[in-house]
Amino acid sequence: MSKEIYENPDLKKERQNCPFNKEEITHLLDGGKEKTIERKQLENYILSDEQLKDAVPMEYLSHADKYAEELRKACLLMHKLADSPAGQVPTLRALMGAGLGSAVLKEGNPLALHYVMFIPALMGQGTIDQQAKWLEKAYNLNMIGTYAQTELGHGTFLRGLETRATYDPKTQEFILESPSLTAYKWWPGSLGKTANYAVVMAQLYTKGKCEGTHPFMVQLRDEETHEPLPGIVNMWLNPVCISSYIHYGTYVKPTNSKLSYATMVFVRVVVCQDVTTNLRKAVTIATRYSCVRRQSELKPGDREPQVMDYQAQQNKLLPPLAATFAFQLAADHLWNLYHTANNNIEQGDLELLPDLHGLSCALKALCSSEAANFVEVCRQSCGGHGYMSCSNFPRIYGQVTAAETYEGENTVLWLQVARYLVKTRKEQSGGLSVKYLIGEEKGPKTVDTTLEGIVKLYRRAAVGLVDVAIAELDKSGRKGEAPHDAWNHAAVYLIKAAQAHARLFVVESFVDSLKEGKLSAPVRTVLSQLCELFIIYWLLERSGDFFLCSNLTKQDLLLLNSKYVELLAAIRPQAVNLVDSFDLRDEVLNSPLGCWDGNVYQRLFDEAAKSPLNQSNVHESFHKYLKPLLKSNL
């Protein structure tokens, strides 16, 4: 007799009479029906392997045992690559990020940097000969690499890196050295115990002149013994300059010195997708839990309501739910720009490079910071159970908030965006993705609170805040301040302008995608509600920017507030159906709060029982410490 599958009655009710086709949204997020089929096949292929399951929860292992266990599984995954039903690159993409990969490697993938940065650095910056020599070795895992750029003393300021690569024309070798403690490479993933090669960013010196930071291939460890090579601590020999600019002893400048930063641009682009995947997990966990959890009293005398029926809970969870669609669509647009720009760069056409740099900095900073804030709101919306390690919120938050720092600390990236915006506005040039900055904002300044009218408000704020920042810079200039001081004293305005630009890009991506997309009427309706909710939410959160730059009135704001709460109520009935559309398996969510069946309390109890402390009634430490204390009559 088939075992009755338990489904929490409240979740079951939430799923009845769904007005739209969930699979249509799943296919939209996957990039098409075929991609969904491929993803599900890959998930079954990986998650059905018993050897990839954790015998005990990772949180109860020592640091060294965690590393060993993650390395065991990471290596097993690589052995499974060859027979993957999805092909190499789609499998690698799935295994390196916050989705399928995190279901197996909960503490992180020791081989991630090899695929996410080391190989992309070779592909993006290696010469044909160098790629011929190293790429096959890297893809065959005959070498494990990392990307060693950050030092103890410098992570942000690349022109301040201290590691030096001095070219010796006599031996035609580069001597790499870390001249001081602060020059030690610090932070690179896998550098400590896993990688035996690294792309090392170092200041290139030739003929006594510093030519700036360049990437060098360095062997770190013996390929057989894995022992660090002699002198590896503070003196590295025999590195090779990747994308050699040394021709017969003479340095040949690259067409753009920033091309050596290309690997970081790639990761900034893919990080936008990765933090969105993590946000989808957090929203799914919190939404399902909020429909299972019944607490307090809404109507006196009635049964305790589902906490999702409180408007306050809807206000916590529906904006992040909408954000997952907004960020995904924006990340897709950025990915397309990246490919176009990269193809052009390979042909020597660098015109899109500033747009790509500006937009990748903007979106990476916006998606990571917003996602981190939203994940924390999701965690808090689950009360005490959200605080438990097994809820998976601590791990999800740790992964997302790391993205606010790595690959370019967000504040620094916002200032990069501002530099690009000010230049585009002043020079009225270029600016594919900031076309609105070129020429004057046309049309009446009156406000209409339709979707199109709200998008126009975002554009006014984006232009207006750049102009406010430029006015500040000019004011400082008139007072005789040096440009670098004027820039520093306008930082607050510059960052606001950058953030307004990033939000405009996300808003326009969402609105345009709904216009262009071939969607059924029911899906278009629910996604349009989410879109309108999200763009009003952000406007209400940043209303000062809009008051400053448009004719927005108090009446407009009150109207938008009413529209916002109406949309909360309209979307509430579809919250569970929308997160079900993400099609995130329980193993990927890895949380008793978010499981599809809603069997929260039993799963919480089972998780608690796994703790080593719950394997006996009295822990041995009682007899060692507590009992003597109890007897000591202090």
Ligand X SMILES: Cc1cc2nc3c(=O)[nH]c(=O)nc-3n(C[C@H](O)[C@H](O)[C@H](O)COP(=O)(O)OP(=O)(O)OC[C@H]3O[C@@H](n4cnc5c(N)ncnc54)[C@H](O)[C@@H]3O)c2cc1C
Ligand Y SMILES: CCCCCCCCCC/C=C\CCCCC/C=C/C(=O)SCCNC(=O)CCNC(=O)[C@H](O)C(C)(C)COP(=O)(O)OP(=O)(O)OC[C@H]1O[C@@H](n2cnc3c(N)ncnc32)[C@H](O)[C@@H]1OP(=O)(O)O
Confirm or reject binding of residue 119 to ligand Y (CB under 6 A): yes
Both tokens of 87, joined, read 């092909």
Both tokens of 175, joined, read 């001597």
Task: Tell me which DSSP letter residue 618 carries.
Answer: S
Q: Which residues bind ligand X (CB under 6 A)?
A: 113, 147-150, 154-156, 187-189, 402, 405-406, 408-409, 411-412, 415
- SS3 track for 57-84: CHHHCCHHHHHHHHHHHHHHHHHHHCCC
Task: Tell me which DSSP letter residue 592 carries.
Answer: T
Please report how close the Cβ of residue 198 comes to ligand Y at its closest, in angstroms: 12
Question: With respect to ligand X, which residue has the nearer C-beta, 411 or 611?
Answer: 411
Confirm or reject binding of residue 423 to ligand Y (CB under 6 A): yes
Question: With respect to ligand Y, which residue has the nearer C-beta, 133 or 563?
Answer: 133
Determine the 3-state secondary structure of 237 from DSSP: coil
Task: Tell me which DSSP letter residue 5 carries.
Answer: P
In this structure, the number of other CB atoms found within 10 A of the CB of residue 494 comes to 26
Confirm or reject binding of residue 115 to ligand Y (CB under 6 A): yes
- Does 231 carry a binding-site annotation? no
- Does 206 carry a binding-site annotation? no
Confirm or reject binding of residue 270 to ligand Y (CB under 6 A): yes
* Listed ranges 57-65, 73-81, 115-123, 548-556: which one lies at the site for ligand Y (CB under 6 A): 115-123
Q: Which does residue 411 touch among ligand X, ligand Y, none (CB within 5 to 8 A, set by kind)?
A: ligand X
Q: Which does residue 97 touch among ligand X, ligand Y, none (CB within 5 to 8 A, set by kind)?
A: ligand Y
Please report how close the Cβ of residue 163 comes to ligand X at its closest, in angstroms: 11
- Which distant-in-sequence residues (6+ apart) come within 8 Å of 495 by Cβ? 411, 414, 415, 418
Among 412, 540, 559, 570, indicate the residue that binds ligand Y (CB under 6 A).
412
Question: With respect to ligand Y, which residue has the nearer C-beta, 124 or 464?
Answer: 124
Location of structure tokens 């790391």: 402
Q: Which helix (H) or strand (E) segment is 146 a member of? A: strand 145-148
Catalytic residue among 70, 407, 508, 532: 407
> How far, CA to CA in Å, does 53 sit from each of 13, 60, 99, 194, 229?
32, 15, 16, 22, 35
- List the Cα angle 24/48/94 in 5-degree steps: 55
Among 1, 64, 89, 634, indicate the residue that binds ligand Y (CB under 6 A).
89
Q: Are 206 and 129 in contact, with CB atoms under 8 Å apart?
A: no
- List the Cα angle 465/471/473 in 5-degree steps: 105
- Which distant-in-sequence residues (6+ apart) come within 8 Å of 18 by Cβ? 574, 577
Interface of this chain with ligand Y, residues 168 to 207, rule: CB under 6 A = 189
Among 133, 419, 489, 524, indicate the residue that binds ligand Y (CB under 6 A).
419
Q: Are 593 and 600 in contact, with CB atoms under 8 Å apart?
A: yes
Confirm or reject binding of residue 353 to ligand Y (CB under 6 A): yes
Question: With respect to ligand X, which residue has the nearer C-beta, 189 or 386?
Answer: 189
Residue nearest to ligand X (CB): 155
- SS3 track for 496-527: HHHHHHHHHHHHHHHHHHHHHCCCCHHHHHHH
Residue 555 CA to residue 561 CA, distance in Å, equals 10
Location of structure tokens 């060098």: 216
Among 147, 197, 493, 546, indicate the residue that binds ligand Y (CB under 6 A).
147
Confirm or reject binding of residue 86 to ligand Y (CB under 6 A): no
Among 258, 489, 563, 585, indicate the residue that binds ligand Y (CB under 6 A).
258
Question: With respect to ligand X, which residue has the nearer C-beta, 136 or 409?
Answer: 409
Question: With respect to ligand Y, which residue has the nearer C-beta, 267 or 539?
Answer: 267
Q: Which does residue 264 touch among ligand Y, ligand X, none (CB within 5 to 8 A, set by kind)?
A: ligand Y
Q: Which does residue 103 touch among ligand X, ligand Y, none (CB within 5 to 8 A, set by kind)?
A: none
In this structure, the number of other CB atoms found within 10 A of the CB of residue 259 comes to 15
- List the Cα angle 342/343/349 in 5-degree steps: 85
- SS3 track for 288-349: HHHHHCECCCCCCCCCCCEHHHCHHHHHHHHHHHHHHHHHHHHHHHHHHHHHHHHHHHHCCC
Question: With respect to ligand X, which residue has the nearer C-beta, 148 or 330?
Answer: 148
Number of residues that bind ligand Y (CB under 6 A): 36
* Listed ranges 22-30, 87-95, 129-137, 221-229: which one lies at the site for ligand Y (CB under 6 A): 87-95
Confirm or reject binding of residue 159 to ligand Y (CB under 6 A): yes
Please report how close the Cβ of residue 365 comes to ligand X at its closest, in angstroms: 11
Q: Which amino acid appears at position 600 of this protein?
A: V
In this structure, the number of other CB atoms found within 10 A of the CB of residue 207 comes to 10
Question: With respect to ligand Y, which residue has the nearer C-beta, 146 or 306?
Answer: 146
Q: Which does residue 116 touch among ligand X, ligand Y, none (CB within 5 to 8 A, set by kind)?
A: ligand Y
Please report how close the Cβ of residue 590 comes to ligand Y at its closest, in angstroms: 17
Dihedral sign of CA atoms 334, 339, 342, 343 in order:
negative
Q: Is 50 a catalytic residue?
A: no
Q: Are 167 and 216 in contact, with CB atoms under 8 Å apart?
A: no
Q: Which helix (H) or strand (E) segment is 609 a member of? A: helix 600-609
Please report how close the Cβ of residue 285 comes to ligand Y at its closest, in angstroms: 20
- Which residues pair with residue 151 across a beta bridge? 185
Please report how close the Cβ of residue 116 comes to ligand Y at its closest, in angstroms: 5
Q: Which residues are annotated as a binding site?
A: 150, 189
Q: Which residues are catalytic?
A: 407
Residues that bind ligand Y in the complex, under the rule CB under 6 A: 89, 92-93, 96-97, 112, 115-116, 119, 147, 149-150, 155-159, 189, 258, 261, 264-265, 267, 270-271, 274, 353, 357, 406-408, 412, 416, 419-420, 423
Q: Which residues are annotated as a binding site for FAD?
A: 150, 189
